[in-house]
Amino acid sequence: MRKILHADCDCFYAAVEMRDDPSLRDIPLAIGGSVERRGVIATCNYPARAFGIRSAMPTSHALRLCPELKLMPADFPRYRAVSERIQAIFHELTPLVEPLSLDEAFLDVSEVTRFKGSATWMARWLKDEALKRTGITLSVGVAPSKFLAKIASDWDKPDGLHVIPPEEVETFVAALPVDKLHGVGPATATKLHAMGIATCSDLRGWPLETLLERFGKFGTRLYALARGQDDRPVRVERERKSVSAENTFHRDLPGLAECRAELPTLIERLGQRLERHGNPPIRGLFVKVRFNDFTLTTLEGLGRQVSPEHFLTLLDEAWARGSRPVRLLGVGVRLVPPDSARQLTLFE
């Protein structure tokens, strides 16, 4: 039986700013791009969340919800330095750490003997050490799987510590709202609710065949999660699946010609990023377009090298899906999985 921790810094970027300037603690604070640059909110503190502000919300909308919102630009070098100190604490406990971003990670503590092997005590130690050494509050979830540990870390935020022991998994999962399942966004949740499915207990009543018909291959995932099944290991080295470059424009690009004119700059940035990653083998190309009504379309095609002509073709087809002004344009590549790129030996 695995013991998995999911550690998540509470409103991380905002927490660093509030730590360094205590006068920001009790006012609505958000980290994000300016209205003039058509920015979005990266994160916000809890006083701001009381106004309905959330991550990925356009800054203009956030300011309408809370005109007195204190907006600050992101300082990623400073956030990265704090993150490295927190990650170092994780590694003091176990080498099996899978970072998900600057502010969260999975830890497999199944074989850790410190604290008499108690994952709950380990979680408490992580929280205490992070606060003492960095001034940042962690919420930690403890469970037998990654899926449940991540849900648990969000259960009692902020400054939470929630434990789902093995003997309580069945009861916990049965009552769990399907909205909490990993991968279930607003559209999928609406579809599930329309089927009369509100909890995992409800979801268990539907056969796998029907879920596959309604949700494609994600139906298999829904079927497993509704039963608390998640055997994914904590991966110390995360596999990079894609590399991309994109830009949100200060003013909408009015038509296809203007989008085409921006493509060479994006392709150049993409090439630079691929070079930094050691020019990994490529298995496909894609273009991403977000129109001025916020609808998003992504078009993919086969290709083993960065080809401006291929990107232009994909852009033409993607733009035709909306045929309207564009606020965001991106180009990227899908990478060949490391195992596929490895040359087979004589006996394989």
How do residues 103-154 score in pLDDT, each as one tens digit? 999 999 999 999 999 999 999 999 999 999 999 999 999 999 999 999 999 9
Distance CA 3, CA 112 (A): 9
User: Could you give the residue range(s) of every CATH 3.40.1170.60 domain in the chain?
Assistant: 18-75
264-286 pLDDT, tens digit per residue, is 999 999 999 898 878 899 999 99
The answer to whether the beta carbons of residues 60 and 50 sit under 8 Å apart is no
Q: What is the mean pLDDT of residues 49-56?
A: 94
Please tell me which residue, 345 or 246, carries the higher pLDDT value. 246
Residue 241: pLDDT band (50, 70, 90) is: confident
Burial class (CB in 10 A: 0-12, 13-18, 19+), 211: buried
User: Could you give the residue range(s) of every CATH 1.10.150.20 domain in the chain?
Assistant: 176-225
10 is in an annotated binding site: no
Write out the CATH class of domain 176-225: mainly alpha
Longest dimension (CA), the chain: 68
Pick the CATH number of 18-75 from 3.30.420.40, 3.40.1170.60, 1.20.120.1200, 3.40.50.300: 3.40.1170.60
Domain 242-341 belongs in CATH node 3.30.1490.100: yes
User: Could you give the residue range(s) of every CATH 3.30.1490.100 domain in the chain?
Assistant: 242-341
Q: Which one is catalytic: 17, 104, 209, 275? A: 104
Say yes or no to pLDDT of 331 above 90: yes
Say yes or no to pLDDT of 348 above 50: no
Q: Decide if 237 is catalytic.
A: no
As beta bridge partners, residue 140 has 7, 161
8 is in an annotated binding site: yes
Domain 4-12+77-169 belongs in CATH node 3.20.20.120: no
**81-110 CB burial, b ≥16 within 10 A, e <16:** ebbeebeebbeebbebbbeeebbbbbbbbe
Sign of CA dihedral 282, 272, 41, 81: positive
Say yes or no to pLDDT of 345 above 60: no
Distance CA 97, CA 105 (A): 7
Say yes or no to pLDDT of 296 above 60: yes
The answer to whether the beta carbons of residues 151 and 104 sit under 8 Å apart is no
Write out the H or E segment, with its range, that includes residue 333.
strand 326-335
The answer to whether the beta carbons of residues 111 and 119 sit under 8 Å apart is no
Arithmetic mean of pLDDT over the chain? 91
Distance CA 56, CA 34 (A): 13
Task: Evaluate the omega torsion of the peptide bond into residue 158 and state whether it is cis, within 30 degrees of 0.
Answer: yes
